[in-house]
Structure 1
């Protein structure tokens, strides 16, 4: 039997026909879509969901520098859906599925790992590749910079005083780590028409009328940083200010960690307030943020989603660095007064740093963006 399959084509998934064959019966001989696997880039970024999302800013720069490269991203299963409709990435590998097995076999031309945790650094070290950027793990179990440009980020992770003095955004740092010029390349996140329609139907089903502008108030701060979250008292006061505007409709945004908080907030607010619920899928959450006229949020996933989708943001900062956050000129940073950027996951200081950001400040910043 004659061999007509070009198994080295990046579009061939191995166990099934490619999308072009499925669409119109195209076979490999003479196929205009044939793209051999020449230069291969492996990006390793596992955690957290918001950090994975903002790291996608590397993709436009890599595509410009390596226009014909195949880009593969290793991550965790819970972040996989961030890459739906992402035209820059050829494959997503997860550590829960096939990443470890394939790392032991496949070869790459460039590996990028911005994280210094030992598991991620070990994945970078294990990758079969001569050129590595970012962090790796040596044979004695020590995290090491793979290139001189990675030293700055590694040391910032080791010394809080360097983190506090830093004035660069995370995006600029990772671009410099990869030896590329930073020009505020966008976070890559695409919603589908079906997702946008779902968000519209969800909001209209909750009573949102045409002409009303939805103001998203993100209640969450993630599970690790308890003080990233604005105080409940201030959130209620801000919600009250939003409700005085007849053209605004308030949307409370939260996840599993905010289940009880959502319930308390709703019990104290009028029934016109809309809630995302605590059990939205990642793609549903993204679609709801994209439907907002503006979003008020702490330093968490919701912030990066809003930035990616071009939704105006008022971002609140206490224990983590405001300087590292790129808002792409479409938002305002309100930084807590007093003991800020402490990088403590929790503290008992009273008043808490996030208490110093007032509802009036937040309302004023939001109105200036609308």
Structure 2
């Protein structure tokens, strides 16, 4: 037996045996696991997606490692088809049982949230980095490299002053050199066929630029999303400048009415629907050539799929976002309250209201 093989299951036949009838003593697919790494990154879904860019640098530093990732249920679909993860475990009883009965060479927790930190305390690992839970009742950094990010989560002025990307900070916390790779979101043939069928049925013109407008931004920070008037004017201008192009609207349940109204703003506008599951959403994002969006999950998936991006910023940090050379970031000038992370705002016009259609159009032209 080769219980150290990455394909070994223990309670059922492994993939090489099922596919080729190989057995352990002579199996040419034998791939020994050299170390076990645990990553705890529970939410939000967009944060989980952007953190998947750590996987390849980790495997470069620890070749042959088996990476187990613990996350919440709504983020699990992100890891479908991901070749860099050995095991993904849903946060809850299964994760607790796994951590109580497993040992790891390295455990990484990149959130100072209480649930993540408490989970870290029960992980048995030779080395731990990131954040843990102090028995006296508070989160604390485990290594000096994690202190800056910890302070950014506590004090608004430190967060606002930061000019480093999230990717750079996470790489430093994990002791990794170089640049974090793009997020990972791998579509399979069935998902690509789903997108192709949608494009055919809706008559998406793929011989001209396909523009994606992700009109929402979740419910936590309302002012992360651009205005209806901004999107309506942008649609009008895009149809004037690129009359053969298709404009795809993206959103979730909160954007049903918003996108239905925007779909009536032009003749080439197609609503992709607001009830797609996460995998379908990613497949539909693959159809666009360039996306206009706020700081959202759609942005992270678009970057994973190597889409050109025009990203609009207001209440969240522009500096933290790495577009990997694939886009332009826009924020209003002359406002010292940007990067406030406030759920509401009494400043009028708001930061997102101050972003003009001409600014967005200029950025789009530069990306085509």
| TM-based fold match above 0.5 | yes
2:230 paired with 1:247: no
Match of 1:357 among 347, 355, 358: 355
> 2: CA distance between counterparts of 1:190 and 1:210?
21
Contact 1:112 1:132 in 2 (8 A): yes
SS in structure 2 at match of 1:120: helix
Report the equivalent of 2:63.
67
Deviations 1:318-340 (Å, cap 9, x if unpaired)? 00000000000110000123231
Contact 2:211 2:248 in 1 (8 A): yes
> 2: CA distance between counterparts of 1:38 and 1:213?
46
Deviations 1:27-47 (Å, cap 9, x if unpaired)? 112212233444100001010
> 1: CA distance between counterparts of 2:310 and 2:39?
30
Report the equivalent of 2:75.
79
Contact 1:176 1:182 in 2 (8 A): no
SS in structure 2 at match of 1:129: strand
Residues 97 and 249 (structure 1), Cα distance of their counterparts in 2 relative to 1, 3 Å cut:
farther
Say how many residue pairs are matched. Answer: 365
SS in structure 2 at match of 1:53: helix
SS in structure 2 at match of 1:130: strand
Listed as ranges, the matches of 1:184-199 within 5 Å are 184-199=180-195
Match of 1:262 among 259, 264, 281: 259
> 2: CA distance between counterparts of 1:138 and 1:36?
36
Residues 37 and 209 (structure 1), Cα distance of their counterparts in 2 relative to 1, 3 Å cut:
closer
Q: Which moved further from structure 2: 95-104 or 327-336?
A: 95-104
Contact 1:53 1:188 in 2 (8 A): yes
Match of 1:280 among 270, 276, 279: 276
What is the deviation of 1:76?
1.1
Contact 2:185 2:304 in 1 (8 A): yes
Contact 1:77 1:96 in 2 (8 A): no
SS in structure 2 at match of 1:350: coil
Deviations 1:171-217 (Å, cap 9, x if unpaired)? 00000001111324222222223322321220221122341321000
> 2: CA distance between counterparts of 1:156 and 1:22?
49
Q: Which moved further from structure 2: 296-305 or 241-250?
A: 241-250
Question: TM (normalized to structure 2)?
Answer: 0.96
Match of 1:313 among 309, 314, 332: 309
Residues 294 and 97 (structure 1), Cα distance of their counterparts in 2 relative to 1, 3 Å cut:
farther
Residues 142 and 35 (structure 1), Cα distance of their counterparts in 2 relative to 1, 3 Å cut:
same
2:140 paired with 1:135: no
> 1: CA distance between counterparts of 2:78 and 2:122?
25
Match of 2:228 among 226, 232, 240: 232
What is the deviation of 1:295?
0.2
Question: TM (normalized to structure 1)?
Answer: 0.95
Contact 1:184 1:328 in 2 (8 A): no
> 2: CA distance between counterparts of 1:96 and 1:214?
41
Deviations 1:46-88 (Å, cap 9, x if unpaired)? 1011110110111111111000111111011111111111111
> 2: CA distance between counterparts of 1:366 and 1:56?
27
> 2: CA distance between counterparts of 1:186 and 1:349?
35
Q: Which moved further from structure 2: 148-157 or 22-31?
A: 22-31
Report the equivalent of 2:143.
147
Unpaired runs of 5+ residues, structure 1, are: none
Report the equivalent of 1:172.
168
Report the equivalent of 1:344.
342
> 1: CA distance between counterparts of 2:206 and 2:5?
48
